[in-house]
Amino acid sequence: MQRYILRAKNKITLLSAILIVIGFSSLWLLRNEVIFTSSLVLASILGAMPIAIQAYQALRVKVVSIDLLVTIAVLGAFLIRNFEESAIVTFLFLFGAFLEQRTLTKTRSAIKELTEMAPESALKRMDDGEFVEVDVDEVDVGDVLLVKTGAKVPVDGTVLSGEGSINEASITGESIPVAKEKDSNVYAGTILDNGTIQIVADRVGEDTTFGRIIELVEEAQDSKSEAERFIDRFAKYYTPAVLVLAFVIWLISRDVELAITILVLGCPGALVIGVPVSNVAGIGNGARNGVLLKGSEVISDFSRLDTMVFDKTGTLTMGNPSVAETEYYGDGIDEALVFLASIERESDHPLARAVLDKIGATTFSEVTDTEVVKGGGIVASVAGHRVAVGNVALMEREHVTLGEKAKLDVTRLEKNGNSLVLTSVDGELKILMGIRDQVRPGVKEDLQKLKRLGVKNLVVLSGDNQGTVDAVSRELGLTEAYGNMLPEDKSAYVRRLIEEEGQIVAFVGDGVNDSPSLALANIGIAMGGGTDVAIETSDVVLMNSDFSRLPHALGLTKATASNMRQNVLIAVGVVLLLLSAVLYSDWMNMSIGMLVHEGSILVVILNGMRLLRYRLERS
């Protein structure tokens, strides 16, 4: 029966609320005190059952919880026939517990989703030289595996033979595929976009990079759950103190009604609702402004933030490479653009798509004698002209002379973190394009707002090369920038900040590869357009991946945390005032005490509701 009642606690909360509404409606509208009293008595009994069970279970393990105080107070309210107080207190207590419990269950589905993304099978070379599909658990270190186009890499390994382009977004978060050849490292969970490769298994199962991602998320979530303890820590001292005070009063005065009055007035009605109402109002404001906050513990930590760590791709940047800078040399540029578009439309590489997007609508010429130069680019014949499209090394191979201006432009574009696409026609350089993942519009201004709100350090961690990361850092004025980082490197950095330096750390990201750091950080912040795993693992979600919502989120949590403290002070102050008045004055009685008590609940509710109108001040 106890388990059934506790499982139905949320339904009991809803039913109690309905009965309270029915009761007060019947009194105010119908003047029917019978329905009023009956509804509140039933609401009190229903609401008290799960609270009393929790108090009993806590006592069995020698813990005096706040549930016990609420239970005794409800019994006391029954003895003095104050059914309004007993019904409202039980409902508010259950509703506050519901809000806290709801936030704890949101992240658990992330583990299942991560597991489902892991590779399940592999093509393993057998003793006869044939490749046979086996379960990934049957792969051992040293086995040779075949990976075909479109397949997931089953283990961490090294390429033995073949070439291909691998999408490593699940590991590094970078959208541009990485070319792989003999002796290149590959990671489990990444996808071979094109080509066919044979690899030797270096790490398998839980030892792979992807396996460690899952393990890190599990560890971080388990450690996080220990933070949800504020009310119990407070009750550890508050509850016994009120119980002892009521008992001492009874021993001295032998006045049962006075002792019950102490319990009732000491019942933390405003305290119980003060934190949840601030929490609900803050969350409501956030939801209206595109910020999903997952609970009061999130708000508390977020408001005390020291350091904010960002993933680069999809967070500070748009996540899609595009042409950022273009330089033209000599005559015949329009013709050269046609030639360039004609070659690039035959490629599915992200850089080719970026070039085509930049050129826009155009005509195309026939492309023949195409030669793909490994690590360089493409050389082809277009309309009778020899056209080369690729990097500087390809230009040197084609004996294309770069003038002084072109050399300066190449240096400048590389320093700005661009991938270069050069185009020559018949041995003459015509076009230089710098392609990079563009910084989100307005991000620099938003980062300045975060600094003004008290964030001391702004750090970027990325799987991209250090030069590109440094360019983004310089452009945005960040404190620190680290490139070439795998998920385990990112989470290790976050762990060091938290455990060794004692900082309150927020991590902002959007990919599966970010999920360990999102879960490990004090505050995980996901871009709403990111992966489901990142969103589920995070504590805060910026809807529609709108980075400009981040300063509002931080300002809102600071205001909400302050509001919570105000409500706690109001609630505790009123309780102390009432208890003092009962003991040391003649004018305090149950009616006045109840009026003040209910008034304090109204005050903390109205104070919390102010958060619905919160807006970040413009500066």
Bridge partner residues of 197 (DSSP): 147, 162
Q: At 506, which amino acid appears?
A: A
Q: At 102, which amino acid appears?
A: R
> Are the C-beta atoms of residues 189 and 215 closer than 8 Å to each other?
no
For residue 87, give every residue at least 6 positions away whose Cβ sits within 8 Å of its Cβ, in sequence order, or none.
16, 19, 20, 23, 39, 40, 41, 43, 44, 47
Q: Is 369 noted as a catalytic residue in this protein?
A: no
124 alpha carbon, distance to own chain's centre: 38
For 284-337, give the secondary structure using H, E and C. Answer: HHHHHCCEEECCHHHHHHHHCCCEEEEEHHHHHEEEEEEEEEEEECCCCHHHHH
| Rounded-to-integer distance, Cα 448 and Cα 475, Å | 12
| Rounded-to-integer distance, Cα 88 and Cα 90, Å | 6
**CA nearest to 243, candidates 56, 66, 44, 79:** 66
Structure tokens at 299: 């708000």
| Rounded-to-integer distance, Cα 239 and Cα 187, Å | 54
Find where tokens 């500066």 sit.
619
In Å, what is the CA distance from 306 to each residue of 221, 279, 526, 561? 21, 22, 18, 15
Structure tokens at 313: 């791709």
Q: 384-390, long-range: CB within 8 Å, 24+ apart, which pairs? A: 385/339, 385/425, 385/426, 386/425, 386/426, 386/427, 387/339, 387/340, 387/343, 387/423, 387/424, 387/425, 388/422, 388/423, 388/424, 389/340, 389/343, 389/344, 389/421, 389/422, 389/423, 390/421, 390/422
For 230-250, give the secondary structure using H, E and C. Answer: HHHHHHHHHHHHHHHHHHHHH
- Give, in degrees to the nearest 5, the angle at Cα 419 between 414 and 420: 80
Of 311, 409, 437, 514, the catalytic one is 311
| Rounded-to-integer distance, Cα 191 and Cα 123, Å | 14
> Are the C-beta atoms of residues 323 and 355 closer than 8 Å to each other?
yes
Does the CA dihedral 595-596-598-604 come out positive or negative?
positive
What is the rounded end-to-end Cα distance, in angstroms, of the chain? 58
In this structure, what are the phi and psi dihedrals at residue 142, rounded to the nearest 5 degrees?
100, -15
Q: Residue 587: how many CB atoms within 10 A of its CB?
A: 6
Structure tokens at 266: 């000491």
- Give, in degrees to the nearest 5, the angle at Cα 596 between 593 and 599: 145
Structure tokens at 573: 């102050």
Question: What residues are annotated to the active site?
Answer: 311
